[in-house]
């Protein structure tokens, strides 16, 4: 019998953080470093808990080299060969503690994961990533990986409800990736419709990631999803009750959204679209009419499946798109902007440390985020 849950569920766009009295004099006083002890691996983490998504247009070795300078983390995509991993590890030993090796549930993926972790023991994190984290097969796979690598910290997902967070933690995962379909239209240009370049294809307005990122097509193709803010709040509560942790994966289009995810209780925030289009990002660099773009596509897009699986299988549909993102240059500038925004959030609510942000957060529901006069967002 179908059932309707009438409880209100909210996305990042539906709320703002209420400012509170603060004793902080400057955003430079804010400490964004977090330290965690993981439930199942018994390992420790210290760093700024922002993660580059495990997409081949984001989770690259080049991205990892820059992010580790800021104590940020990279979930490296699964399509690097063992030879490439060994070469990177020998040349960048300091990066390895800030990396996760990624895998799907296929036997070839698991074999590749074993080879990487055996060859490079300094890599202590594993990112197990599937579109649908609700399958029994995935739960059993998490158990198998935990049995095989008892001391590695396992990230697993994606899910959006508390009961599945609990099941995956009890199966052996340490950090649960939260997000299915929290996509958002991201406007990368500054022209009004009357000022669009000609031909119109040269002006790309949207960004799309895979199962849970900006303008993910899962909701359109399947009708399945969950507003990200509510998903993070509910899943964080479930995870923390078991001494587990969560990653808010998807839906962030600006530094304010990252701050909201942390305020909602996320231990980590994973970014795809916000880190796409940079020098360190994967994807082909294209120049047209004097403008530079980089290809950005979801890992469940037709392009990704053609590239890595020979095409879209008859029994499934593509759940991602391919777009051209205006080239943004070095990612370092974007990282500084994101971190500066989060520090400012903390000063507005009186949180001297990122750890305090969720305790200092009160969300207020709104009908408009920004003044729309000079913006297409509202």
Question: Does residue 216 carry a catalytic annotation?
Answer: yes
Inter-helix orientation angle 107-119/82-91, to 10°: 30
Tokens standing for 70?
């800021």
Cα-based distances in Å from 192 to 290, 334, 372, 375? 20, 24, 12, 9
> What is the torsion angle, in degrees rounded to the nearest 10, for the CA atoms of residue 188, residue 192, residue 197 and residue 200?
80
Measured between alpha carbons, how far is 231 from 265 in angstroms, rounded to an integer? 10
Catalytic residue (one of 68, 95, 216, 235)? 216
Catalytic residue (one of 218, 334, 347, 361)? 218
Q: Contacts for 70-73 with beta carbons within 8 Å, 24 or more apart?
A: 70/335, 70/339, 71/33, 71/46, 71/47, 71/98, 72/47, 72/48, 72/98, 72/335, 73/47, 73/49, 73/98, 73/99, 73/100, 73/125, 73/268
Contact 125, 155 (CB under 8 A): yes
- Residues counted in the chain: 378
Question: Does residue 95 carry a catalytic annotation?
Answer: no
Tokens standing for 233?
């709040």
**What is the set of active-site residues?**
216, 218
């Amino acid at each position: 019998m179908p059932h309707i849950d009438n409880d209100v569920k909210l996305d990042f766009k539906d709320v703002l953080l209420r400012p509170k009295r603060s004793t902080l004099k400057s955003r430079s006083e804010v400490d964004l470093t977090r330290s965690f002890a993981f439930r199942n691996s018994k390992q420790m983490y210290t760093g700024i808990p922002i993660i580059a998504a495990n997409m081949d247009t984001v989770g690259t070795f080049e991205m990892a080299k820059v992010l580790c300078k800021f104590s940020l983390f990279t979930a490296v995509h699964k399509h690097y060969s063992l030879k490439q991993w060994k070469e990177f590890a020998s040349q960048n030993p300091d990066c390895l503690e800030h990396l996760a090796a990624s895998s799907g549930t296929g036997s070839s993926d698991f074999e590749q994961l074993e080879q990487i972790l055996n060859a490079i023991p300094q890599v202590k994190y594993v990112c197990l990533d599937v579109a649908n984290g609700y399958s029994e097969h995935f739960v059993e796979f998490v158990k198998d990986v935990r049995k095989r690598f008892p001391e590695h910290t396992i990230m697993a997902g994606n899910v959006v409800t508390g009961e599945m967070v609990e099941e995956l933690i009890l199966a052996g995962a340490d950090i649960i990736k939260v997000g299915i379909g929290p996509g958002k239209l991201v406007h990368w240009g500054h022209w009004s419709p009357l000022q669009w370049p000609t031909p119109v294809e040269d002006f790309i307005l949207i960004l799309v990631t895979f199962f849970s990122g900006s303008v993910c097509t899962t909701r359109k193709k399947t009708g399945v999803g969950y507003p990200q803010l509510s998903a993070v709040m509910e899943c964080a509560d479930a995870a923390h009750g078991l001494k587990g942790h969560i990653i808010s994966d998807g839906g962030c289009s600006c530094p304010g959204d990252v701050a909201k995810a942390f305020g909602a209780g996320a231990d980590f925030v994973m970014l795809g679209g916000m880190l796409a289009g940079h020098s360190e990002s994967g994807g082909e660099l294209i120049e047209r009419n004097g403008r530079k773009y980089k290809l950005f596509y979801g890992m469940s897009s037709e392009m990704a499946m053609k590239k890595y699986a020979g095409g879209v299988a008859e029994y499934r549909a593509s759940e991602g798109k391919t777009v051209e993102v205006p080239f943004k240059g070095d990612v370092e500038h974007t990282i500084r902007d994101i971190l500066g925004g989060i520090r400012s959030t903390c000063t507005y609510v009186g949180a001297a440390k990122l750890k305090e942000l969720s305790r200092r957060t009160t969300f207020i529901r709104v009908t408009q985020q920004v003044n729309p006069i000079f913006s297409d967002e509202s």
